[in-house]
Structure formats: structure tokens, C-alpha cells
Amino acid sequence: MSSLIEAYSKIAGEDVITQLRQLVRLLKNRRVVHVNSTREGGGVAEILAKLVPLMQELGLDVSWEVITGDERFFQCTKSFHNALQGDRIDIPQRLLDAYEETNRQTAKELAPVLEGADIVFIHDPQPAPLLSYCGARKGKWIWRCHIDLSQPHRTTWKYLRQFVRDYDASIFSLSDFAQALPHPQYLIPPSIDPLSEKNIALEEAEIRGTCDQFGLDPERPLLVQVSRFDRFKDPIGVVQAFRLAEKYVPDLQLVLAGGGASDDPEGEAVRREVEAFSGGDPDIHILELPANAHRTINALQRAADVVLQKSIREGFGLTVTEAMWKGKPVVGGNTGGIRLQVINNHTGFLVNSPEGAALRVRYLLEHPDKLRRMGEKAAGFVRENFLLTRQLREYFTVMAALIHGCEDRIELE
């Protein structure tokens, strides 16, 4: 057994790997290509960095291509990203021209690879127009959208839709994100990589070291919320919940860990608001972490007694998955993908207000046995449902389904 497969087998179970091997047999001699916009940085690249080698080790012929462009291209795609998540942004024509031209040039370079492939996964909007410029394509093309498309800015979506509609299928993370398109829209929730820096098991000494670094007392109870400083994540509500819970658990500490505010003016403003609202309370730790502080985040989540994700709007909420994987019950906002993961009284609690969050935090801290059991259940739930191997199985299923027909039942030898 090769090293990567062996490592996943130890975590996800040998039966999971056996099933992947059986599914791969259905895709024998098929060529698969993934295209996204970066090899490093961001969730998509992180997942592809593991998914592609794992697919290769399982015996699939897979390659990973990247679209690169100039500043105008990335300015345009960043605007897409924000607009598709609801911001009302009008993107100037010169940026749209750069976007289309970059795709046209990339299509020229990659044509032999893309047109010859049996399955092409195009990730997110950046490379979406490639299909329009690959007229001799022979395989099935899938648009994999990782973005929360529940309330897109309509003008931007209308523009992008013209490139997406001709795909053979698309994949969205949640039903809420699916749009009107003339092809099957598969639903595949995202996953976490248990072997990544953000999720790998850590020595106790490292966790303690991280606590020391930020002045946290490991002997006192700790609440942690990891998320961007964004109003939809309700950081003010988290501080309110902390203050209410602190009345009953005076030793309580809170960490609000976020990052990326340097290039996000709104994030900076929200962070300042939270700091002002916290009034210099020494037990409230507002941490601005760099984008690559994966191990620090890992340690903070592991140091927590209870993890909060008190969002009032959320896509899938991978920070919830990460916390649950570390055996932490999550008190989460009753919204989006958090509802799929936080099962009341089993893996955590869904709440609708700071009062609700405080009530549940207090309950968990007063019932350590319950807290431990819920944490164990949470980790088991993630192992069964939200690891990378499950996402890979679903990709294989969609690939097999697209290659072998569109019926409700596809029976293969």
C-alpha cells in the first residue's frame, strides 16, 4: 500500500479505501484534469493538493492545471467572488475583457490536455470560460462551484451563467447554492483533510506552547471562535454570549481568531468594533493571524473546551467541521451548513441568539461528561461524513454517472 493511501486508510478506515478502489475500476483508462487558479493558498488548492495525488495513487490518470493571469484578471475574479456571495459590485468592462482574454489564452495553451480528457473539473469562476474556447472537447466537463451562491448579485451571476450553462454538470456544496442551469446539479458537501496542518494531531506540548504564546491559561475554561472578522460571523454576539456565560463561569476565557484583515477594509473595521466592544477585557483575546497560521488555529481549536461558530449567515462552515474533528462540541448559529453538522444534543447545539449561546456554553461547561461524549460523537460524525475520502468517493460517483449515462440507476460490471 502506498504512503498516502496508507495514511488515509489509518484515519478513515480500510473499508473506505477498498470502496474507493472499486469505484476507480469504473473509471479505468479515463483521463481526468482539474483546473483552478492557484497551486497554493485557499481552500480549493489545499484540497486539490491532496485529492490529486490520492487519485493518482488509486490508479487514475489525473493532472492538475492552473490558470494564471495578470492583476486585472485577479481583480476581476476577486470581484466575482464577492459579488457571487451577495455584494453589489459592478465589474468594469476592462476587467471582464481581461478575464475573457486570459481564459482564451489559457485555452490555447491547454487545449491538447483539456480537449483530450475524459473528465474535466473546472473549479470556481476563474477558469469557467475555458469550455467556450475548447470546441474540440471530447469529454464531460463539470463546473465545481465552491462558493456560497445562495444570494448572488444577479448581474454578475447572469454574466457568469453564460459560461457555465454549457457544462455537462455542475457541483454545488449545498442545495441552497444551486442555481437554474440546464444540466444536472450535483450536491457534494465539502470536506476537511485530516492530514493537513490545520487538522493533524498535535502534541500536548505544542498546544500548551500556543496557549502560552497568546497568554491563555490552560487550566481555565476556553471558548474559541475561528473566523474572518465579518458581521455575518457575529463576533459581537460572541462577546455578548461570553459575558453572559462568564457570570456563571467566572474563569472563562474567549479567543476570537481571525485573519486576512490587511487586504479587507471591512474586516479591519469589524475587528476594531469588536475590540471596542470588548473594552480591553483581558480574558477576551482578539487575535489577528496570518492566512497560513494553520498550526496555530489547529492548536487553539484543540485547546478549546467549546468551539463557537455563532454565524447569522454561513456557507458550509468548515471551521465547524474542523472543531468537531478535534472532538469539540460546537455551539453554532442556526443557519446554512452548520445545520448539517451541529445536531442538537448530539454534536453540539444550534442557537439563535447570544443568550442561547451562553446558555449552551454554561450547560456544557457544567457537564464535563456530556461535553466529552458530545465531542467524541462529533469527531465520529466527521470521520463518517466529512473527510476528504468521502468527497473523493462522491467525485468518483459523479464521474461514473456522467460517463455511463444519466439514468437514475446505473448498473456497472
Binding site for other proteins (CB under 8 A): 15, 18-19, 22-23, 25-26, 150, 172, 175-176, 178, 180, 184-189, 313, 335-336, 339-340, 343, 346-347, 381, 384-386, 390, 393-394, 396-398, 400-401, 404, 406-413
Give me the least distance between CB of 154 and other proteins, in Å please: 17
If the CB atoms of residues 158 and 247 are measured against other proteins, the closer one turns out to be 158
Comparing CB distances to other proteins, the nearer of 13 and 260 is 13
Closest to 122 in 3D by CA, of 99, 143, 149: 143
Cα separation of 45 and 48, whole Å? 5
Q: What nine digits make up the cell of 381?
A: 460524525
Minimum Å gap between C-beta 411 and other proteins is 5
Alpha-carbon Rg for the chain in angstroms: 22
* Minimum distance of other proteins from residue 181's CB (angstroms): 8
- Cβ–Cβ under 8 Å, residues 9 and 39: no
Nearer to other proteins, 106 or 347 (CB): 347
To the nearest whole angstrom, how small is the minimum distance from the Cβ of residue 124 to other proteins? Answer: 18
Looking at the Cβ atoms of 72 and 231, the one nearer to other proteins is 231
Q: What is the DSSP string of 160-177?
A: HHHHHTTSSEEEESSGGG
Question: Residue 349 and residue 180: Cα distance in Å, rounded?
Answer: 33
Decide whether 150 or 296 has the Cβ nearer to other proteins. 150
**Encoded amino acid at 277, one letter:** F
Reported in sequence order, the residue ranges of 290-400 that DSSP labels E, i.e. its strands, are 306-309, 330-333, 348-351
- Decide whether 80 or 316 has the Cβ nearer to other proteins: 316
Three-state DSSP class for residue 187 = strand
Closest approach of Cβ 146 to other proteins, in Å?
Answer: 16
Smallest gap from Cβ 333 to other proteins, in A, equals: 11
DSSP H or E run through 257:
strand 253-259
